[in-house]
Amino acid sequence: MFKVPPVPASRLPALLRAMPKAELHIHIEGSLEPELIFALAQRNGVPLPYASVEELRRAYAFTNLQSFLDIYYAGASVLLHEQDFYDMARAYLARAVADHVAHAEIFFDPQTHTARGVPIETVINGLHRACEDARTELGISATLILCFLRHLSEESAFETLEQAQPLLDKIVGVGLDSSEVGHPPEKFARVFARCRELGLHLVAHAGEEGPPAYIWSALDVLKVERIDHGVQAVHDALLMQRLAQDRIALTVCPLSNQKLQVFPNLADHNLGKLLDAGLAATVNSDDPAYFGGYINENFTQVFAATGLTARNAYQLAWNSFEASFASSADKRNWEHQLKEVFERCYEHDD
Ligand code: HPA
Ligand code: ZN
């Protein structure tokens, strides 16, 4: 890999913002800004329990994952038609382009919508059309990952997979999200085995609030290729070795971890520890409309709080491309662009 010379601290935020990157952990329903929630509520005649955008924003005071999820699912209730899903994804993709995201792998939660009577094809077709249009109109590559809600049953996950079956060419993989503690990965062993047979890529949230044991079972029982969050791995030395040796990427979300009180003080975040241990960590926004920032805000704030360096920045961006489910040709192309941005940064040295 390119040997990264030091960059003055004053120049680091600009470099973090300008470098090309992939976003691998973004819940599209978590990109729904309060303004868009209100606009869609009005368009669709859906009543909201908040009088204004400001009142809704004031409710974003979370104490843990569950307190966030309750509001997050309520926000998604305004999504009814294919165009709503299109508009939500289009807004995220435009925002991602501004942050120099070259490639995004976007999570969506079909059960949140099918439970309200919205057909799964409405969800997938709207999101997929937004990804296709963004590729030609905005120059960003974007794919979809269907997430099963782990607080629901195995049966419900199987039913969702069956509904999605005719649309599988529009998704690259499956994931597992929602309330972690009490819902270990093993609960979905058979669903993930079936998804694997179908040739889908596999990821799962594990070790956000849950113990290292959930990361082990995501790897060994579900056979996932990446771990979403995974920050609790530091409590298990053997697991850290395994993650490093197998180059299992962790999609870390610093501002999410701060807002959900995993690391209430961003200065205590363990991203640097994960990188120092040789893990393929990446930086992502999780639910940017709820956690106070898109991907570049996550980069700049965690770097400022923990003193990470330009070398770490290069490694994180490189990891994000390497850990993506894009083609090898695309990965090499983006990694080349990344190197060029760093080289240009040194050309301007005084
Ligand atoms: N964890 C679990 N489920 C989620 C998250 C998260 O960070 N964001 C949206 N759904
Ligand atoms: Zn998440």
Give the Cα separation of 236 and 217 in Å (integer): 14
Per-residue model confidence (pLDDT) at position 345: 87
Q: Rounded to whole angstroms, how far apart are CA atoms 13 and 191? A: 42
**Which amino acid does the sequence have at 116?**
R
- Respond yes or no: is residue 132 known to be catalytic: no
How far apart are the C-alpha atoms of 305 and 271, rounded to whole Å?
Answer: 11
**Considering all CA atoms of the chain, what is the largest pairwise distance in Å, rounded to the nearest integer?**
62
Is the CB of 65 inside a 6 Å radius of any atom of ligand 1? Answer: yes
What gap in Å lies between CA 209 and CA 140, rounded to an integer?
A: 32
Q: Which domains does the chain have, with CATH numbers?
A: 12-349 (3.20.20.140)
Q: Could you tell me the CA-to-CA distances from 327 to 103, 172, 204, 267, 334 in Å, in that order?
A: 11, 12, 21, 36, 11
150, 183 Cβ separation under 8 angstroms: yes
176 CA to middle of ligand 2, Å?
A: 9
d(CA 136, CA 90): 12
Give the pLDDT score at 5. Answer: 81
Give the 3-state secondary structure of residue 278.
coil
Give the DSSP per-residue string, 195-236. Answer: HHHTT-EEEEEESSSS-HHHHHHIIIII--SEEEE-GGGGG-
Nearest residue (by CA) to ligand 1, atom 10, is 178
CA of 67 to the centre of ligand 1 (A): 11
pLDDT in tens, the chain (350 residues): 778 888 888 999 999 999 999 999 999 999 999 999 999 999 999 999 999 999 999 999 999 999 999 999 999 999 999 999 999 999 999 999 999 999 999 999 999 999 999 999 999 999 999 999 999 999 999 999 999 999 999 999 999 999 999 999 999 999 999 999 999 999 999 999 999 999 999 999 999 999 999 999 999 999 999 999 999 999 999 999 999 999 999 999 999 999 999 999 999 999 999 999 999 999 999 999 999 999 999 999 999 999 999 999 999 999 999 999 999 999 999 999 999 999 988 876 54
Task: Specify the pLDDT at position 6.
Answer: 85
| pLDDT in the model for residue 138 | 98
Contact 45, 2 (CB under 8 A): no
Choice among 82, 180, 208, 297 that is catalytic:
208
Please tell me the distance from the alpha carbon of residue 273 to that of residue 299, in angstroms, as a whole number: 16
Q: Quote the Cα angle for 220-223-229, to 5°.
A: 90
Look-up of token digits 């298990």: 236
- DSSP letter at 350? -
The answer to whether residues 115 and 152 touch, using CB atoms and an 8 Å cutoff, is no
Nearest CA to ligand 1 atom 4: 178
Cα 178 to averaged position of ligand 1 atoms, centre (Å): 5
* Helices (H), ranges, 165-294: 189-197, 212-217, 237-245, 254-259, 271-276, 288-291
Burial class (CB in 10 A: 0-12, 13-18, 19+), 97: middle
Q: What is the distance between the alpha carbons of residues 166 and 31, in angstroms, rounded to a whole number?
A: 26
Backbone angles phi, psi at 189, to 5 degrees: -55, -45
CB of 209 closer than 6 angstroms to any ligand 1 atom: no
Cβ of 27 less than 6 Å from ligand 1: yes
pLDDT of 349 reads 55
- With residues binned 3-state (H G I as helix, E B as strand, rest as coil), the percentages for the chain, rounded to 5, are 60, 15, 30
Output phi, psi for 173, to 5 deg. -170, -175
- Structural tokens at position 301: 């704030």
